[in-house]
Chain A
Amino acid sequence: MMYLWLKALHVAAVLCWTGGLLTASVTIAARSTRLAGAASERTAAMEFLSRWDRRVTSPAMLVAWGAGLALAMQGQWFGSVWLTLKLAIVFALSALHAVLSGTLRRLAWSDAPSVPSWLRHVPFVIIAGVAVIATLVVVKPF
């Protein structure tokens, strides 16, 4: 029973985390290709997103990690190939989240700094990562 509650918490946290991650990445990608609107509006939008990241997306990531590790221990999933692969992708997504979070903070300060061009591709990387994770968890092919 406890396992199902943990699973529900994990899925809810993952939805909040990936939603915030996608929003941040798409906004930064739009910023790197010149977002419409006045500079002050753009900075205000970045500040709002940065605050959202601190208060919602980052805590959601921590809950997803905590509940996920508890689930893996309870279900004795450690050692499975699918979980090892999933963990590698989650590490990569977490690192990307840190980059996006720092970039949002920098952009919230001023409109001047440029954004690395590779960040434009991050939304697609996130979607691909989430799709592979969903497949690994649901199908458990290995």
Chain B
Amino acid sequence: MMSPEQRHEELAHLRRMRAISLIEGSTLLLLVLAAVPLKHLAGLAIATRIMGPIHGLAFLTYVWMLIQLVSGGGWSRPEIVRLAIAAFIPFGGFVNARVLARHQRLLAAP
């Protein structure tokens, strides 16, 4: 049985995970839909030189938090696989954010 403080901490953890999932998804979209075309169509290589490391850091942070989330337990294997694979797919970060929001609602329900 979770104490109110533990429930609060878990909800905060899910909120952080959702935020990083949205950041990871957005930076991937910016990289694929804006920076890469700018590089190849307009010759602006600087676009990928900036967006590449930003997305890389966001992706690493997401992976770190995902390992932490999985080690904390309470997630089924299909959910874990979905959370991992969607991070590689454009718009996948937004799907992950919805999955995390559902868990957040379940945890917040009295």
Does B45 touch A at the CB level, under 8 Å? no
Quick check: B67 and A102 within 8 Å, CB to CB? Answer: yes
Contacts of B6 in A (CB 8 A): 47, 108-109
Nearest CB in chain B: distance from A126 CB, A: 16
Q: How many residues of B contact A (CB 8 A)?
A: 15
Contacts of A105 in B (CB 8 A): 9-10, 13, 68, 71-72
Contacts of B10 in A (CB 8 A): 105
Contacts of A100 in B (CB 8 A): 71
* Count, A-B residue pairs, CB within 8 A: 40
Interface of A is mostly: helix
Q: How many residues of A contact B (CB 8 A)?
A: 17
When the two chains form the complex, which single residue of A54, A98, A106, A108 contacts B67, counting CB atoms closer than 8 Å? A98
Contacts of B73 in A (CB 8 A): 102, 106, 113
Contacts of B69 in A (CB 8 A): 102
Contacts of B50 in A (CB 8 A): none
Quick check: A95 and B67 within 8 Å, CB to CB? Answer: yes
Quick check: A98 and B2 within 8 Å, CB to CB? Answer: no
When the two chains form the complex, which single residue of B1, B2, B72 contacts A102, counting CB atoms closer than 8 Å? B72
Given contacts A99-B71, A110-B1, list 18 more A-B pairs with CB under 8 A. Answer: A47-B6, A54-B9, A95-B64, A97-B64, A98-B67, A99-B67, A101-B68, A101-B71, A102-B71, A102-B72, A102-B73, A103-B71, A103-B72, A105-B9, A105-B13, A105-B68, A108-B6, A113-B73
